[in-house]
Structure 1
Amino acid sequence: MIVSPSHNLRVADNWVRPYEPGSGRWLVIAWEAFALTLLTWASIRQFDLMGHGVRVVAGLLAAVWVVGAWRILRLGVYVSAEGVLIRGLLRSRAMRWRDIAGVRLHRATHRLGPWQIESGNTVLLERTDGATVHTELWERGMDFHSRPTVFRAVYQEIRNRHRSAAAGPH
């Protein structure tokens, strides 16, 4: 269970990710396995490891891969009646609906010298204190790259849940 200290919101089992993860997650996990295998092989060769050293390096990097794969599988935005939970690769953050002023799309661009590169839409949460919170929802990301209608449906689901919470119990 995670407790969000800034809002004292307990993260329990009632959180639901309003979308099925995309197959891109498995590609990322496979790529990471390949990269860590190469790192293990290079480390063993570079430091002339044998026996116990090989097992330690291989075990350590395998453990890093398992933890990383677990976090990648759980990555995303979850909703409940109480609020929204954003699970990132390194940390998770929970917010109550009442602390969120709005949910909106943001057209992300990146600058590369004089050029601007369009990166597609992301979902942003605007907090009541004026701060903006980035979610893990990206139109061209691993979950929605080839599923733009799913991205729009998830965005609408989060907006509708926020509106329902703001309207209060009926």
Structure 2
Amino acid sequence: MIECVPHNSRVADNWVRPYEPGSGRWLVIAWEAFALAMLSWATVRQFDLIGHGVRVVAGLLAAVWTVGAWRILRLGVYVSPEGVLIRGLLRSRVMSWREIAGVRLHRATHRLGPWRIESGNTVLLERLNGGTVYTELWEKGLDFHSQPGVFLAVYHEIRNRHRSAAQE
């Protein structure tokens, strides 16, 4: 388990990610570094940049890559006795267990014209007001693709924590 302490926690101070991140995240980070290096090269060539211009472009894209890599490494679902924290690529969301009516699996499908493409299970949080919140947990995602048993174990962990909180 990986522990994390967010700065703007409104529910708990001790968040735990109930799974190890998949090694595929490093592949994504490396791919993004390559893509941003190619963008940097193309920008320098396109605009005939020299000297400070090259350094500014390289510095800006390196900063974007650093922030993106940091967010990719922190992606996921974290739990605490008081609630759940969902870290996405662009934003994070905190929900207390009291706000959650249930935790369930959802079979995700995508439509491409007349075809339906099955994309595996995801974990959904059902809110008391009837809405649903998608988590970053996906059965065929980078963290669980080669280990579906871990995906189900994480789902059961979150569901059991919710049930325990509801009984208190």
TM-score range with shorter-chain normalisation? Answer: over 0.9
Whole-angstrom CA distance in 1 between matches of 2:113 and 2:127:
32
Match of 2:4 in 1: none
The alpha carbon displacement at 1:11 in A equals: 5.1
Q: Percent identity?
A: 81
* Paired residues, number: 162
| Amino acid in structure 1 at the alignment position of 2:27 | L
Q: Report matched runs for 1:17-166 at 5 Å.
A: 17-166=17-166
The alpha carbon displacement at 1:95 in A equals: 0.3
TM-score by length of 1: 0.94
| Cα displacement string for residues 120-156 of structure 1 (whole angstroms, at most 9, x for unaligned residues) | 0000000001110000000000100101000000000
Q: Could you list the runs of 5+ residues in structure 1 that have no partner in the other structure?
A: 4-8
Whole-angstrom CA distance in 2 between matches of 1:16 and 1:69:
20
Report runs of 4+ in structure 1 exceeding 4 Å deviation.
none
| Amino acid in structure 1 at the alignment position of 2:43 | S
The alpha carbon displacement at 1:69 in A equals: 0.1
What is the aligned counterpart of 1:2 among 8, 16, 38?
8
| Amino acid in structure 1 at the alignment position of 2:88 | G
Name the SS for the 2:21 alignment partner: coil
> Residues 2 and 11 of structure 1 are in contact (CA less than 8 Å); yes or no, is this contact kept in structure 2?
no
> Residues 78 and 86 of structure 2 are in contact (CA less than 8 Å); yes or no, is this contact kept in structure 1?
yes
RMSD: 0.8
> Residues 76 and 137 of structure 1 are in contact (CA less than 8 Å); yes or no, is this contact kept in structure 2?
yes
Name the SS for the 1:129 alignment partner: coil
> Residues 11 and 96 of structure 2 are in contact (CA less than 8 Å); yes or no, is this contact kept in structure 1?
no
The alpha carbon displacement at 1:2 in A equals: 1.8
